[in-house]
């Protein structure tokens, strides 16, 4: 396991065409989540608290989106919730729709954020994110 990352390790029997071997070891690095504070972490990880504070429908969608984040290998893997990059501060952020006007807002959480030559964040190389807020749209 790579230090600082959660990973899944799978033995794959059919990668002879790819590496010219009968079997190989595949390591998949999963997206690492951090939270801006303990209260937000509890909201995202405690179903009862999320149901109470957001309502059952939004809480259910929140659980699904957090699971999607945890299953992704990078931010570019995210397809559901119509991810959209926004620039509210000096650091670009991503918002993902939940339900009933709620959204998750997060940013890259690397010491050195991967960027394209143009200076824009290379979301395909972002493997660590910090969830900043669960909020209503247009906040």
Q: Rounded to two decimals, what is the model's pTM? A: 0.76
The class level of CATH for 31-136 reads: alpha beta
State residue 42's pLDDT score: 94
Q: Which two tokens stand for residue 128?
A: 């660590």
101 CB burial (10 A radius; 0-12, 13-18, 19+): exposed
> What is residue 28's predicted lDDT score, i.e. its pLDDT?
67
> Beta strand pairing status for 32-35 and 84-86?
unpaired
For the chain, 139 residues long, give each residue's pLDDT as a single digit of tens: 333 444 444 444 444 445 555 556 666 677 889 999 999 999 999 999 999 999 999 999 999 999 988 888 888 888 777 888 888 777 889 899 898 889 999 999 988 888 899 988 888 888 889 999 999 987 5
Q: pLDDT value at position 85?
A: 85
Residue-level pLDDT at 10: 41
| pLDDT tens figures, 92-114 | 898 998 988 899 999 999 888 88
Q: Where in the chain is the domain with CATH 3.30.2310.20?
A: 31-136
- Which single residue is written with the structure tokens 């990078």? 74
Among candidates 74, 83, 81, 79, which has minimal Cα distance to 128?
Answer: 74
């Amino acid at each position: 396991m790579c230090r600082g990352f959660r990973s899944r390790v799978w033995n794959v029997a059919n990668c002879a065409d790819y590496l010219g071997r009968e079997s190989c070891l595949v390591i998949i690095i999963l997206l690492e989540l951090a939270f801006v504070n303990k209260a937000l972490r509890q909201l995202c990880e405690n179903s009862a608290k999320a149901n109470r504070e957001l309502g059952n429908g939004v809480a259910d969608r929140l659980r699904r989106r957090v699971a999607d984040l945890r299953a992704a290998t990078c931010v570019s893997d995210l397809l559901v919730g119509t991810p959209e990059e926004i620039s509210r501060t000096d650091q670009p952020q991503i918002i993902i729709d939940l339900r009933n006007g709620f959204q998750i807002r997060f940013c890259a959480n690397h010491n050195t954020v991967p960027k394209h030559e143009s200076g824009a964040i290379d979301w395909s190389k972002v493997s660590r994110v910090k969830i900043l807020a669960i909020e209503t749209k247009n906040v």
